[in-house]
Amino acid sequence: MTKIGIILGSTRPGRNGEAVAHWVHELAKARTDAEYELVDLLDYKLPLLDEIYPPAMGQYNQPHTQEWAAKIASFDGFVIVTPEYNHSVPGALKNAIDFLAAEWANKSVGFVSYGSTGGTRAVEHLRLIAGELQMADVRSQVAFSLFTDFENFSVFKPADLHRDSLTTTLDQVVAWSNALAPLRVG
């Protein structure tokens, strides 16, 4: 069965992303088209990139990199849940992405973002990064506003319309993951 990783891209104390990622995971688990797993960056304790060789060489020396690589390699596609920090991607998420290369290639990726403008600028940066890593980013995305989808900017209260956006995003991620499967063989 197709495996989709839902990556929680924030490690900040008190992060809003935890509630968002759990919402995505709960809705995804109700589907029968793929197996969905929540992957929390906090569980991997990745320091700033500390590998001797560039990730493109695939010669990982650090145990934390090897564990991270095995987890990412196990998936056919991803949904990245990300906040927007300073008009861009959180440093912890960018660092986690930068640790690897081949493990991301020929897989689909969709985005669920949040922030004062829905996290859309972070997603635009992630789309550029995904392209470099040979990932197929899907068009549909979910964007939550801190002003309308969070009570007091911290309690997640998503508007109902986001369910449809998530459904479309998951449909596209699964479809593209399946379409790219022949490229991942071997």
Helix axes 161-184, 17-29, angle to 10 degrees: 70
Q: How far apart are CA 22 and CA 86, in angstroms?
A: 24
DSSP 88: B
C-alpha 137: how far from chain center: 11
* φ, ψ of residue 177 in degrees (nearest 5): -60, -45
Residue 58, domain CATH: 3.40.50.360
The amino acid occupying position 74 is: S
Domain containing 82 equals 3-184
What SS3 state is found at 36? Answer: strand
Q: What is the pLDDT along the chain (186 residues), one digit of tens a residue?
A: 999 999 999 999 999 999 999 999 999 999 999 999 999 999 999 999 999 999 999 999 999 999 999 999 999 999 999 999 999 999 999 999 999 999 999 999 999 999 999 999 999 999 999 999 999 999 999 999 999 999 999 999 999 999 999 999 999 999 999 999 999 976
Q: How far apart are CA 88 and CA 158, in angstroms?
A: 22
What SS3 state is found at 177? Answer: helix
Domain count, the chain: 1
pTM above 0.85, yes or no: yes
